[in-house]
């Protein structure tokens, strides 16, 4: 069947189906569902996050009000980060106040453990493909289809910190162990959450069920953690914040996830760096999309403890990114990738977000084979077995991960058969 006919056949699977549901986290910040187009409070401007070590509810509530009064701040939320044992307080400052000056003042206050701006992050997604894009080439390109003879991700939990995921999609039913919403104060529908649904499909779409596609780790369990939000119905780029991502990472650590997929990027963030360091200590491999333009790799991909990922195309081409990182940078399919879409759909997506999802799936296969490997050992295994793409020199480029070679290496075999 030629590519155009295969593409048409894939899109014939589209049907109208309502989205999945989420149980909102039980915190004091939950509110009524937002009106369409109204920015959630976790993503509004002029907010700071203050952390307190004190775990006494009475004392931190007193401190919350005292800080608000002393610095003329409005309290907009609070939440615990259990994994690093702090209480977070979120304040909004008046638009005529200088944010940097206020943060400097608060850092010298003995009641405050840390303080930072509530920063904005975004999903790394490119545009749609053209009419003749290749279909479902990713698993073959990284030899995941061959690796499935050895592992399928069974028993491995992958936390997807992203937009929501359409849990009712036929290719994702039974793959999602938990769904949690950290953005919209209880809104149930994830019917527009294309980014998270696409990432989830690449990682763990069901295999051999006669429907759609299959994931890199089709038997992995997903934690679908909604930390990102679309500004409006016409937007293709989702936004997240320090506030929402911190809660999602903390949840993943407490739930003992094995892999953490972060198909997003933003500015340096001290609170998130602390949480990701804790995840690393707990043996959780963190995989993040890297920026493919501009002079910076982006955060959290820049952290040496994080596996940074860039996209390769259907022919294995990739370009030298404009930045450098001391630790290994992986490459994986991320151009014209067909994957799951909300409402029982399928779509072609591009960007390092999709590439990161492929690598998270490979890490899940490795974790099934040897759950005792540390994040550093897994990154080293991926580096040792990665293949050079079709462009440039080995010393200059990220290299494309090879799932089958990695698993064969774990089994002491020289070749993947």
Asked, for residue 373, whether it belongs to a domain, the answer is yes
pLDDT tens, residue by residue, 92-112: 998 888 999 999 999 999 999
Around Cβ 336, how many Cβ atoms within 10 Å? 22
pLDDT for the residue numbered 134: 40
Residue 28 inside a domain? The answer is no
Q: Is 352 a catalytic residue?
A: no
pLDDT of 391 reads 57
The fraction of the chain above a pLDDT of 90, given in percent, is 61
Claim to verify: residue 354 and residue 246 sit in the same structural domain: yes
Q: How far is CA 285 from CA 49, 158, 200, 209, 331, in A?
A: 26, 9, 17, 29, 16
Taking the C-alpha atoms of residue 74 and residue 77, their distance in angstroms, rounded to an integer, is 9
By C-alpha distance, which of 357, 359, 369, 368 is closest to 401? 359
The sheet with strand 228-229 has its strands ordered as: 228-229, 239-241, 120-123, 264-265
Beta bridge partners of 171: none
Between CA 394 and CA 339 the distance in angstroms is 30
**Of 82, 100, 118, which closes a domain?**
118
Residues 91 and 193 in one domain: no
- pLDDT above 50 (res 3): no
Q: Which one from 83, 148, 193, 195 is the annotated catalytic residue?
A: 195
pLDDT band at 9; cut points 50, 70, 90 = very low
Q: Are 142 and 96 found together in one domain?
A: no
**pLDDT, averaged across the chain:** 84
CA distances from 29 to 23, 41, 95, 344 (A): 14, 9, 22, 32
Q: Which tokens go with 140?
A: 């073959």
pLDDT of residue 14: 30
Claim to verify: residue 153 and residue 283 sit in the same structural domain: yes
Q: Evaluate whether 99 touches 46 at the Cβ level (below 8 Å).
A: yes
pLDDT of residue 403: 96
Most confidently modeled of 3-7, 233-237, 243-247, 346-350? Answer: 243-247
Which of the four pLDDT bands, split at 50, 70 and 90, describes residue 306? Answer: very high
Which CA distances in Å does 266 have to 3, 299, 325? Answer: 36, 5, 16
Asked if the structure places residue 31 within a domain, the reply is no
pLDDT digits (tens, 9 = 90+) for 63-94: 999 999 999 999 999 999 999 999 999 999 98
pLDDT at position 282: 97
The reported pLDDT for the residue numbered 213 is 87
- Answer yes or no: 344 catalytic: no
pLDDT in tens, 164-179: 999 999 999 889 999 9
| Total domains present in the chain | 2
Question: For residue 52, what pLDDT is reported?
Answer: 93
Q: Let me know if 353 is a catalytic residue.
A: yes
What is the per-residue pLDDT for 25?
34
Q: What range does the domain containing 317 cover?
A: 121-410
Cβ proximity of 197 and 17 under 8 Å: no
Out of 92, 118, 144, pick the residue that ends a domain.
118
Average pLDDT over residues 358-376: 97
Question: Is residue 35 in a domain?
Answer: no
Which residue would you say has higher pLDDT here, 55 or 205? 205
Asked if pLDDT for residue 151 goes beyond 80, the answer is: yes
**pLDDT of 295 strictly over 50:** yes
Q: Which of 219, 179, 215, 182 is nearest to 200 (CA)?
A: 215
51, 137: one domain: no
Both tokens of 355, joined, read 């590439």
pLDDT at 1: 31
227 has a pLDDT exceeding 60: yes
- Name the catalytic one among 129, 148, 162, 336: 162
pLDDT at 31 over 60: no
DSSP E strands, 184-291? 221-226, 228-229, 239-241, 259-262, 264-265, 285-289
CATH code of the domain covering residue 75: 3.30.70.260
Range of lowest pLDDT (29-33, 265-269, 329-333, 366-370) = 29-33
pLDDT for res 16 = 24
**% the chain with pLDDT above 70:** 83
Catalytic one among 242, 285, 353, 360?
A: 353
What's the pLDDT band for 131 if we cut at 50, 70, 90? very low
For residue 32, is it within any domain? no
Same domain assignment for residues 307 and 171: yes
One domain, residues 228 and 354: yes
For residue 42, pLDDT over 90 is answered with no
Residue 273 has pLDDT above 70, yes or no: yes
pLDDT of res. 28:
39
- Coil, strand, or helix at residue 336? coil
Closest CA to 156 of 216, 198, 83: 216
Say yes or no to pLDDT of 8 above 60. Answer: no
Instruction: State the pLDDT confidence band at 414, using cuts at 50, 70 and 90.
Output: confident
| Closest among 100, 64, 28, 3 to 348, alpha carbons compared | 3
């Amino acid at each position: 069947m030629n590519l155009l006919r295969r593409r048409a056949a894939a899109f014939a699977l589209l049907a109208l189906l309502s989205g999945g549901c989420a149980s909102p986290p039980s915190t004091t910040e939950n509110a009524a569902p937002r009106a369409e187009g109204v920015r959630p409070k976790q993503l509004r401007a002029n907010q700071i996050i203050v952390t307190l070590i004190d775990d006494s509810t009475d004392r931190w509530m007193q401190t919350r009000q005292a800080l608000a009064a002393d610095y003329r701040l409005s309290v907009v939320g609070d939440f615990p980060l259990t994994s690093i044992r702090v209480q977070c307080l979120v304040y909004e400052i008046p638009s005529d106040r200088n944010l940097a000056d206020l943060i400097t003042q608060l850092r010298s206050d003995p009641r405050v453990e840390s303080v930072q701006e509530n920063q904005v992050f975004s999903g790394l997604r490119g545009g749609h493909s053209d009419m003749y894009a290749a279909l479902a080439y990713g698993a073959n390109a990284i030899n995941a289809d061959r690796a499935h003879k050895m592992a399928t991700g069974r028993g491995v939990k992958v936390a997807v910190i992203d937009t929501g995921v359409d849990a009712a999609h036929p290719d994702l039913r039974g793959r999602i162990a938990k769904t949690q919403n950290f953005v919209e104060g209880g809104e149930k529908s994830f019917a527009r959450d294309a980014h998270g649904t696409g990432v989830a499909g690449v990682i763990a779409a069901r295999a051999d069920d006669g429907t759609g596609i299959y994931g890199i780790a089709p038997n992995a369990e997903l934690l679908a953690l909604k930390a990102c939000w679309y500004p409006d119905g016409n937007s293709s780029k989702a936004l997240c914040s320090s506030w929402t991502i911190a809660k999602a990472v903390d949840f993943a650590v407490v739930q003992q996830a094995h892999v953490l997929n972060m198909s997003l990027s933003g500015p340096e963030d001290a609170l998130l760096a602390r949480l990701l360091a804790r995840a690393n200590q707990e043996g959780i491999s963190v995989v993040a999309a890297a920026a493919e333009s501009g002079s910076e790799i982006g955060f959290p991909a820049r952290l040496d403890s994080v596996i940074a990922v860039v996209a390769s195309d259907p022919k294995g081409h990739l370009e030298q990114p404009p930045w450098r990182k001391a630790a290994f940078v992986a490459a994986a399919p991320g151009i014209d990738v067909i994957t799951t879409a909300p409402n029982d759909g399928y779509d072609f997506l591009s960007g390092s977000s999709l590439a990161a999802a492929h690598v998270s799936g490979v890490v899940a296969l490795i974790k099934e084979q040897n759950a005792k490997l540390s994040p550093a050992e897994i990154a080293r295994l991926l580096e040792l077995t990665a293949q050079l793409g079709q462009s440039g020199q080995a010393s200059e480029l990220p290299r494309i991960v090879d799932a089958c070679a990695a698993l064969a290496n774990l089994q002491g075999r020289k070749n993947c058969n």
